[in-house]
Protein backbone atom coordinates (compact mmCIF):
# COMPACT_ATOMS: atom_id res chain seq x y z
CA UNK A 1 0.00 0.00 0.00
CA UNK A 2 1.45 3.37 -1.10
CA UNK A 3 0.79 6.07 1.49
CA UNK A 4 1.49 9.81 2.04
CA UNK A 5 5.09 10.97 2.06
CA UNK A 6 6.38 8.07 -0.09
CA UNK A 7 5.66 5.61 2.70
CA UNK A 8 4.75 2.05 1.77
CA UNK A 9 2.86 -0.10 4.29
CA UNK A 10 3.24 -3.86 3.85
CA UNK A 11 1.49 -6.64 5.68
CA UNK A 12 3.64 -9.08 7.64
CA UNK A 13 3.13 -12.32 5.79
CA UNK A 14 5.92 -14.73 6.71
CA UNK A 15 8.41 -15.52 9.47
CA UNK A 16 11.13 -13.36 7.91
CA UNK A 17 8.93 -10.25 7.91
CA UNK A 18 7.66 -11.11 11.40
CA UNK A 19 11.24 -11.02 12.66
CA UNK A 20 11.70 -7.66 10.90
CA UNK A 21 8.56 -6.47 12.69
CA UNK A 22 10.00 -7.55 16.05
CA UNK A 23 13.46 -6.08 15.43
CA UNK A 24 12.21 -2.72 14.15
CA UNK A 25 12.16 -0.88 17.53
CA UNK A 26 15.90 -1.43 18.05
CA UNK A 27 16.74 1.38 15.61
CA UNK A 28 14.15 3.76 17.06
CA UNK A 29 15.42 3.29 20.63
CA UNK A 30 19.12 3.07 19.80
CA UNK A 31 19.93 6.22 21.81
CA UNK A 32 17.44 5.55 24.62
CA UNK A 33 19.19 4.09 27.69
CA UNK A 34 15.86 3.17 29.31
CA UNK A 35 14.72 0.83 26.54
CA UNK A 36 14.95 -2.93 27.06
CA UNK A 37 14.93 -5.08 23.93
CA UNK A 38 12.41 -7.94 24.36
CA UNK A 39 13.54 -11.50 23.84
CA UNK A 40 13.01 -12.57 20.24
CA UNK A 41 11.68 -15.98 21.34
CA UNK A 42 9.06 -14.38 23.61
CA UNK A 43 7.87 -11.92 20.93
CA UNK A 44 7.63 -14.67 18.32
CA UNK A 45 5.42 -16.73 20.62
CA UNK A 46 3.24 -13.74 21.48
CA UNK A 47 2.60 -12.92 17.81
CA UNK A 48 2.35 -16.51 16.52
CA UNK A 49 -1.31 -17.09 15.61
CA UNK A 50 -0.84 -20.84 15.92
CA UNK A 51 0.71 -20.84 19.40
CA UNK A 52 -0.81 -17.96 21.35
CA UNK A 53 -4.23 -19.05 22.74
CA UNK A 54 -5.43 -15.45 22.45
CA UNK A 55 -6.08 -16.22 18.77
CA UNK A 56 -8.70 -18.82 19.66
CA UNK A 57 -11.04 -15.83 20.14
CA UNK A 58 -9.29 -13.07 18.20
CA UNK A 59 -7.90 -12.16 14.80
CA UNK A 60 -5.06 -9.79 14.00
CA UNK A 61 -2.81 -8.42 11.28
CA UNK A 62 0.62 -6.80 11.49
CA UNK A 63 2.13 -4.18 9.18
CA UNK A 64 5.50 -2.51 8.63
CA UNK A 65 5.91 0.98 7.13
CA UNK A 66 8.83 1.36 4.71
CA UNK A 67 10.54 4.37 3.18
CA UNK A 68 13.38 4.00 0.67
CA UNK A 69 13.78 0.35 1.62
CA UNK A 70 14.13 1.08 5.35
CA UNK A 71 11.54 0.03 7.97
CA UNK A 72 10.35 3.20 9.73
CA UNK A 73 7.30 2.09 11.71
CA UNK A 74 5.03 -0.79 12.62
CA UNK A 75 1.53 -1.44 13.97
CA UNK A 76 -0.99 -4.22 14.58
CA UNK A 77 -4.79 -4.40 14.47
CA UNK A 78 -6.84 -6.85 16.51
CA UNK A 79 -10.50 -7.83 16.93
CA UNK A 80 -11.30 -9.89 20.00
CA UNK A 81 -14.64 -11.71 20.14
CA UNK A 82 -14.53 -11.70 23.96
CA UNK A 83 -14.33 -7.90 23.97
CA UNK A 84 -17.59 -7.68 22.04
CA UNK A 85 -19.24 -10.30 24.26
CA UNK A 86 -18.07 -8.62 27.48
CA UNK A 87 -18.53 -4.96 26.59
CA UNK A 88 -21.42 -5.21 24.13
CA UNK A 89 -19.64 -3.24 21.42
CA UNK A 90 -17.55 -4.27 18.43
CA UNK A 91 -14.31 -2.56 19.40
CA UNK A 92 -11.17 -2.85 17.30
CA UNK A 93 -7.74 -2.59 18.88
CA UNK A 94 -4.40 -1.29 17.68
CA UNK A 95 -1.09 -2.29 19.20
CA UNK A 96 2.64 -2.90 18.78
CA UNK A 97 2.97 0.73 17.63
CA UNK A 98 6.49 1.99 17.02
CA UNK A 99 7.39 4.85 14.70
CA UNK A 100 10.03 7.37 13.80
CA UNK A 101 9.10 10.99 14.57
CA UNK A 102 7.29 11.52 11.29
CA UNK A 103 3.59 12.37 10.97
CA UNK A 104 3.36 10.87 7.47
CA UNK A 105 4.53 7.48 8.70
CA UNK A 106 2.08 7.50 11.62
CA UNK A 107 -0.74 8.58 9.30
CA UNK A 108 0.00 5.73 6.90
CA UNK A 109 0.06 3.14 9.70
CA UNK A 110 -3.17 4.29 11.35
CA UNK A 111 -4.96 4.65 8.01
CA UNK A 112 -4.13 1.01 7.31
CA UNK A 113 -5.45 -0.11 10.70
CA UNK A 114 -8.58 2.00 10.39
CA UNK A 115 -9.41 0.62 6.94
CA UNK A 116 -8.94 -2.97 8.15
CA UNK A 117 -11.18 -2.44 11.19
CA UNK A 118 -13.86 -0.55 9.24
CA UNK A 119 -14.05 -3.42 6.75
CA UNK A 120 -14.90 -5.63 9.73
CA UNK A 121 -17.63 -3.32 11.03
CA UNK A 122 -15.88 -2.07 14.17
CA UNK A 123 -17.48 0.95 15.85
CA UNK A 124 -14.27 2.37 17.30
CA UNK A 125 -10.54 1.80 17.84
CA UNK A 126 -8.86 1.50 21.25
CA UNK A 127 -5.24 0.96 22.11
CA UNK A 128 -2.47 0.31 22.31
CA UNK A 129 -2.93 -3.29 23.44
CA UNK A 130 -0.08 -5.78 22.93
CA UNK A 131 -2.17 -7.76 22.14
CA UNK A 132 -5.00 -7.66 24.69
CA UNK A 133 -5.96 -5.86 27.87
CA UNK A 134 -4.49 -8.83 29.74
CA UNK A 135 -1.07 -8.18 28.21
CA UNK A 136 0.97 -5.00 27.76
CA UNK A 137 -1.42 -2.06 27.61
CA UNK A 138 -1.33 1.67 27.15
CA UNK A 139 1.10 4.17 25.68
CA UNK A 140 3.71 5.53 28.07
CA UNK A 141 3.02 9.26 28.54
CA UNK A 142 5.01 9.92 31.73
CA UNK A 143 8.07 8.21 33.17
CA UNK A 144 10.34 7.91 30.14
CA UNK A 145 13.60 8.06 32.10
CA UNK A 146 13.39 4.60 33.71
CA UNK A 147 13.26 1.17 32.08
CA UNK A 148 9.98 -0.74 31.78
CA UNK A 149 9.45 -3.83 33.93
CA UNK A 150 8.28 -7.26 32.87
CA UNK A 151 5.23 -7.06 30.55
CA UNK A 152 5.16 -3.25 30.61
CA UNK A 153 5.81 -1.07 27.59
CA UNK A 154 8.16 1.78 26.78
CA UNK A 155 7.76 4.62 24.27
CA UNK A 156 9.40 7.68 22.80
CA UNK A 157 8.00 10.94 24.22
CA UNK A 158 6.67 12.02 20.80
CA UNK A 159 4.45 8.94 20.36
CA UNK A 160 1.51 10.57 22.14
CA UNK A 161 1.64 13.53 19.76
CA UNK A 162 1.63 11.21 16.73
CA UNK A 163 -1.33 9.20 18.04
CA UNK A 164 -3.40 12.24 19.01
CA UNK A 165 -2.77 13.81 15.59
CA UNK A 166 -4.71 10.88 14.11
CA UNK A 167 -7.86 11.84 16.03
CA UNK A 168 -7.40 9.70 19.13
CA UNK A 169 -8.35 10.97 22.59
CA UNK A 170 -7.73 9.62 26.06
CA UNK A 171 -10.04 6.79 27.13
CA UNK A 172 -8.30 5.83 30.37
CA UNK A 173 -4.98 6.20 32.18
CA UNK A 174 -3.34 3.39 34.11
CA UNK A 175 -0.55 3.82 36.63
CA UNK A 176 2.59 1.96 37.63
CA UNK A 177 3.48 2.40 41.29
CA UNK A 178 6.93 1.83 42.74
CA UNK A 179 7.74 0.73 46.29
CA UNK A 180 10.97 0.70 48.26
CA UNK A 181 10.75 -2.84 49.64
CA UNK A 182 13.20 -2.09 52.45
CA UNK A 183 10.93 0.58 53.87
CA UNK A 184 8.14 -1.08 55.82
CA UNK A 185 4.61 0.31 56.08
CA UNK A 186 3.64 3.04 58.56
CA UNK A 187 3.05 1.97 62.17
CA UNK A 188 -0.74 2.16 61.89
CA UNK A 189 -0.69 -0.21 58.90
CA UNK A 190 1.67 -2.59 60.72
CA UNK A 191 -0.71 -2.69 63.71
CA UNK A 192 -3.67 -3.40 61.41
CA UNK A 193 -1.77 -6.20 59.62
CA UNK A 194 -0.65 -7.78 62.90
CA UNK A 195 -4.21 -7.72 64.24
CA UNK A 196 -5.43 -9.36 61.03
CA UNK A 197 -2.77 -12.07 61.30
CA UNK A 198 -4.08 -12.96 64.75
CA UNK A 199 -7.61 -13.29 63.39
CA UNK A 200 -8.23 -17.01 62.71
CA UNK A 201 -10.61 -16.09 59.91
CA UNK A 202 -7.66 -15.16 57.67
CA UNK A 203 -5.11 -17.65 56.39
CA UNK A 204 -2.28 -17.00 53.94
CA UNK A 205 -1.22 -19.84 51.66
CA UNK A 206 1.99 -19.90 49.62
CA UNK A 207 1.40 -21.73 46.37
CA UNK A 208 2.53 -25.34 46.32
CA UNK A 209 4.74 -25.82 43.26
CA UNK A 210 3.89 -29.53 43.27
CA UNK A 211 0.28 -28.49 42.57
CA UNK A 212 1.26 -25.57 40.37
CA UNK A 213 -1.44 -25.85 37.69
CA UNK A 214 -4.21 -26.27 40.25
CA UNK A 215 -2.94 -23.37 42.35
CA UNK A 216 -2.71 -21.04 39.34
CA UNK A 217 -6.27 -21.95 38.38
CA UNK A 218 -7.38 -20.64 41.78
CA UNK A 219 -5.38 -17.45 41.22
CA UNK A 220 -6.98 -16.87 37.81
CA UNK A 221 -10.46 -17.66 39.15
CA UNK A 222 -10.01 -14.95 41.79
CA UNK A 223 -8.63 -12.56 39.15
CA UNK A 224 -11.60 -13.04 36.80
CA UNK A 225 -14.03 -12.36 39.65
CA UNK A 226 -12.10 -9.49 41.24
CA UNK A 227 -11.55 -7.59 37.99
CA UNK A 228 -14.91 -8.30 36.31
CA UNK A 229 -16.39 -4.86 37.03
CA UNK A 230 -13.24 -2.96 36.05
CA UNK A 231 -13.17 -0.80 32.94
CA UNK A 232 -12.28 -2.77 29.82
CA UNK A 233 -12.26 -6.14 31.60
CA UNK A 234 -11.96 -9.25 29.44
CA UNK A 235 -11.69 -12.61 31.23
CA UNK A 236 -8.67 -14.84 30.86
CA UNK A 237 -9.71 -18.12 29.26
CA UNK A 238 -8.51 -21.42 30.71
CA UNK A 239 -6.22 -21.90 27.72
CA UNK A 240 -4.71 -18.43 28.22
CA UNK A 241 -4.33 -19.08 31.94
CA UNK A 242 -2.48 -22.34 31.27
CA UNK A 243 -0.27 -20.62 28.72
CA UNK A 244 0.51 -17.80 31.15
CA UNK A 245 1.25 -20.28 33.93
CA UNK A 246 3.80 -22.01 31.71
CA UNK A 247 5.43 -18.72 30.70
CA UNK A 248 5.81 -17.27 34.19
CA UNK A 249 6.86 -20.41 36.03
CA UNK A 250 10.64 -19.70 35.74
CA UNK A 251 10.01 -16.26 37.27
CA UNK A 252 8.15 -17.52 40.35
CA UNK A 253 9.34 -17.89 43.92
CA UNK A 254 6.57 -19.80 45.72
CA UNK A 255 6.70 -17.43 48.72
CA UNK A 256 5.96 -14.54 46.38
CA UNK A 257 2.71 -15.99 45.04
CA UNK A 258 0.12 -16.25 47.79
CA UNK A 259 -3.61 -16.79 48.22
CA UNK A 260 -5.56 -15.41 51.17
CA UNK A 261 -8.33 -17.59 52.52
CA UNK A 262 -11.15 -16.00 54.49
CA UNK A 263 -13.32 -18.35 56.54
CA UNK A 264 -11.91 -21.26 54.60
CA UNK A 265 -12.51 -19.90 51.08
CA UNK A 266 -9.92 -18.45 48.65
CA UNK A 267 -10.84 -14.77 48.49
CA UNK A 268 -7.74 -12.83 47.45
CA UNK A 269 -4.43 -13.39 45.71
CA UNK A 270 -1.18 -11.64 44.82
CA UNK A 271 1.50 -12.63 42.32
CA UNK A 272 4.98 -11.05 42.43
CA UNK A 273 7.41 -12.04 39.67
CA UNK A 274 11.10 -11.46 39.14
CA UNK A 275 11.47 -8.44 36.87
CA UNK A 276 12.74 -10.23 33.78
CA UNK A 277 13.57 -6.96 32.02
CA UNK A 278 16.20 -6.06 34.61
CA UNK A 279 17.83 -9.46 33.94
CA UNK A 280 17.90 -9.31 30.12
CA UNK A 281 18.72 -5.63 29.50
CA UNK A 282 22.18 -6.45 28.11
CA UNK A 283 21.19 -9.51 26.04
CA UNK A 284 19.91 -7.52 23.02
CA UNK A 285 16.94 -9.85 22.68
CA UNK A 286 19.06 -12.98 22.21
CA UNK A 287 19.34 -16.05 24.41
CA UNK A 288 21.88 -17.75 22.14
CA UNK A 289 24.69 -18.57 22.36
CA UNK A 290 25.32 -17.48 25.98
CA UNK A 291 22.23 -15.51 26.96
CA UNK A 292 20.62 -18.60 28.52
CA UNK A 293 23.57 -19.07 30.86
CA UNK A 294 23.56 -15.43 31.94
CA UNK A 295 19.83 -15.46 32.58
CA UNK A 296 19.94 -18.75 34.48
CA UNK A 297 22.75 -17.47 36.71
CA UNK A 298 20.87 -14.24 37.41
CA UNK A 299 17.71 -16.15 38.29
CA UNK A 300 19.17 -18.96 40.35
CA UNK A 301 22.46 -17.69 41.77
CA UNK A 302 22.19 -13.90 42.09
CA UNK A 303 18.72 -13.37 43.51
CA UNK A 304 16.88 -10.61 41.56
CA UNK A 305 16.60 -7.24 43.31
CA UNK A 306 13.52 -6.09 41.40
CA UNK A 307 10.00 -7.50 41.31
CA UNK A 308 6.75 -6.66 39.57
CA UNK A 309 3.23 -7.43 40.84
CA UNK A 310 1.15 -8.05 37.67
CA UNK A 311 -1.78 -9.80 39.37
CA UNK A 312 -3.57 -8.89 42.57
CA UNK A 313 -7.22 -8.97 43.50
CA UNK A 314 -9.90 -9.42 46.12
CA UNK A 315 -13.16 -11.08 45.17
CA UNK A 316 -16.02 -8.64 44.54
CA UNK A 317 -17.90 -9.83 47.63
CA UNK A 318 -15.20 -8.28 49.83
CA UNK A 319 -14.11 -5.24 47.84
CA UNK A 320 -14.41 -1.90 49.63
CA UNK A 321 -14.78 -3.65 52.99
CA UNK A 322 -12.57 -3.88 56.06
CA UNK A 323 -12.07 -7.59 55.34
CA UNK A 324 -10.97 -6.85 51.77
CA UNK A 325 -8.46 -4.25 52.94
CA UNK A 326 -7.13 -6.70 55.53
CA UNK A 327 -6.61 -9.39 52.91
CA UNK A 328 -4.87 -7.00 50.52
CA UNK A 329 -2.52 -5.69 53.20
CA UNK A 330 -1.79 -9.18 54.55
CA UNK A 331 -0.73 -10.28 51.08
CA UNK A 332 1.33 -7.18 50.33
CA UNK A 333 3.23 -7.31 53.61
CA UNK A 334 3.84 -11.07 53.52
CA UNK A 335 5.23 -10.91 50.00
CA UNK A 336 7.24 -7.75 50.70
CA UNK A 337 8.94 -9.49 53.63
CA UNK A 338 9.56 -12.64 51.57
CA UNK A 339 11.17 -10.63 48.76
CA UNK A 340 13.37 -8.64 51.13
CA UNK A 341 14.50 -11.80 52.94
CA UNK A 342 15.85 -13.03 49.61
CA UNK A 343 17.66 -9.82 48.72
CA UNK A 344 15.07 -7.85 46.76
CA UNK A 345 15.06 -4.06 47.11
CA UNK A 346 12.45 -2.61 44.75
CA UNK A 347 8.99 -3.46 43.50
CA UNK A 348 6.47 -2.26 40.96
CA UNK A 349 2.72 -2.71 41.40
CA UNK A 350 1.01 -2.28 38.05
CA UNK A 351 -1.10 -1.60 36.30
CA UNK A 352 -3.71 0.30 38.35
CA UNK A 353 -6.69 2.04 36.74
CA UNK A 354 -6.87 5.76 37.46
CA UNK A 355 -10.37 5.37 38.94
CA UNK A 356 -9.58 2.35 41.13
CA UNK A 357 -9.78 4.48 44.26
CA UNK A 358 -9.80 1.52 46.67
CA UNK A 359 -6.50 0.06 45.51
CA UNK A 360 -4.91 3.47 44.98
CA UNK A 361 -5.75 4.39 48.57
CA UNK A 362 -4.09 1.21 49.87
CA UNK A 363 -0.97 1.82 47.80
CA UNK A 364 -0.75 5.41 49.01
CA UNK A 365 -1.07 4.21 52.60
CA UNK A 366 1.87 1.80 52.34
CA UNK A 367 4.21 4.36 50.78
CA UNK A 368 3.96 3.61 47.05
CA UNK A 369 4.21 6.40 44.50
CA UNK A 370 3.16 6.69 40.87
CA UNK A 371 6.25 6.76 38.68
CA UNK A 372 4.84 5.89 35.24
CA UNK A 373 1.57 6.69 33.48
CA UNK A 374 0.23 4.75 30.50
CA UNK A 375 -2.66 6.00 28.36
CA UNK A 376 -5.27 4.03 26.46
CA UNK A 377 -6.64 5.96 23.49
CA UNK A 378 -9.96 5.71 21.69
CA UNK A 379 -11.28 6.91 18.33
CA UNK A 380 -14.76 6.49 16.88
CA UNK A 381 -15.26 5.02 13.41
CA UNK A 382 -17.95 5.94 10.90
Residue 300 pLDDT: 67
User: By the 8 A CB rule, do 149 and 305 touch?
Assistant: no
Provide the 8-state DSSP code for 252. -
Distances from the Cα of 92 to the Cα of 58, 105, 170, 325, 327, angstroms = 10, 21, 16, 36, 36
From the number of C-beta atoms within 10 Å of its C-beta (0-12, 13-18, 19+), residue 55 rates as middle
Task: Report domain extents, the chain.
Answer: 2-173, 179-373
Q: Does domain 2-173 have CATH number 3.40.50.1820?
A: no
| Per-position pLDDT tens, the chain of length 382 | 444 459 999 999 999 999 999 999 999 999 999 999 999 999 999 999 999 999 999 999 999 999 999 999 999 999 999 999 999 999 999 999 999 999 999 999 999 999 999 999 999 999 999 999 999 999 999 999 999 999 999 999 999 999 999 999 999 999 999 999 999 999 999 999 999 999 999 999 999 999 999 999 999 999 999 999 999 999 999 999 999 988 888 888 889 999 999 999 999 999 999 998 888 887 787 766 656 667 666 666 667 899 999 999 999 999 999 999 999 999 999 999 999 988 899 999 999 999 999 999 999 999 999 999 999 999 999 7
pTM, two decimals, is: 0.94
Residue 200 pLDDT: 96
Q: Which CATH class is domain 179-373?
A: alpha beta
Report the candidate in 96, 134, 90 with the shortest Cα–Cα distance to residue 113. 96
Residue 343 pLDDT: 87
Same fold, 2-173 and 179-373: yes
Amino acid sequence: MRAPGDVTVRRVGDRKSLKQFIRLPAAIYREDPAWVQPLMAERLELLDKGRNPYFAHAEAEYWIAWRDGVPVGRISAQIDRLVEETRGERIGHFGMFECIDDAAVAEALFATVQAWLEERACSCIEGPYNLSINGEIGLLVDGFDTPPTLMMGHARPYYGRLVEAQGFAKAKDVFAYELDLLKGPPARITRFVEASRRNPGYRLHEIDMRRYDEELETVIDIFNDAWSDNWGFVPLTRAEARHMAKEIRPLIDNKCVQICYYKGEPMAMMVALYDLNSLIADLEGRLLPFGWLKLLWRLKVRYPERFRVPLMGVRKAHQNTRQGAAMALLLIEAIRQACVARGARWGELSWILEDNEGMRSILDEIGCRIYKTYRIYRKGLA
